[in-house]
Amino acid sequence: MVSESVRISFSKTGRLKYISHLDLCRTMQTAMIRAKIPLRYTEGFNPHPKMIFTQPLPLFAESECELLDIRLTEDMPHEEICARLRKEFADGLYINKVYEPLSKFGEISYALYKITGFESARERELEELLSGEIAVKKKTKDGKEKVIDIRPLVRSLERREDALEALLGAAPDSYLNPDTLCRSMCERGLGKGAYGILRIGWYRGDMSPFE
């Protein structure tokens, strides 16, 4: 049996920023079934497609670089997979490319985000933000609140014209939700409360791009 691994790079923008990661998984699964992609399923009483995503986006965030790995039960050209899925995808989802994965998601260390809504933040204020702790409150699994310092998870935060670029931890054991950083900046008066998040890239620990 063929069990080819295939990686799909796609964008999630527009109205689809309002759906959760679970809804995205269901949407992708439905699109692949309708496109008749020969997905490999798990075994057992409740089989489901073998689909592995990179770190999920927070609600209301967009991305132009989401990655999804699937496995096939029979050969299908990457160009055909791409063409079939483009016909089935809803507005806001777009296939960038389909290719053979040469690396594992575990190699990802950082994600790069473009953040809007903090145009009034000055360079000095950003430097002050990064100069010490960035303490935020977080709920534990038992419902209690604890204060954590997210500063070690912020590799860089720089202005790029009318937006900020934030390079944040994205490894399984050091992931920083970009919404957490944005909320913290709003609490410090660096923004007006309305902001936009767009994920634009993935990087390894040595800062080489991950695809």
pLDDT digits (tens, 9 = 90+) for 142-169: 777 888 899 999 999 999 888 999 999 9
Q: Tens of pLDDT along 76-86? A: 999 999 999 99
Rounded to whole angstroms, the Cα distance separating 49 from 24 reads 14
* pLDDT for position 48: 81
| Mean pLDDT confidence for 180-187 | 93
47: alpha, beta or left, given left = phi > 0 and alpha = psi -120 to 50?
beta
Give the percent of the chain with pLDDT over 70.
Answer: 99
Rounded to whole angstroms, the Cα distance separating 71 from 7 reads 9
| Mean pLDDT confidence for 30-50 | 87
**Closest of 62, 148, 52, 65 to residue 110, by C-alpha:** 65
* pLDDT for position 17: 93
* pLDDT for position 3: 54
| Mean pLDDT confidence for 8-22 | 94
| Mean pLDDT confidence for 28-34 | 92
Please give the model's pTM, rounded to 2 decimal places: 0.91
Rounded to whole angstroms, the Cα distance separating 103 from 106 reads 8
Rounded to whole angstroms, the Cα distance separating 50 from 37 reads 12
* pLDDT for position 141: 74
* pLDDT for position 186: 92
Q: Tens of pLDDT along 92-110? A: 999 999 999 999 999 999 9
**Closest of 167, 142, 170, 145 to residue 157, by C-alpha:** 167
* pLDDT for position 120: 87
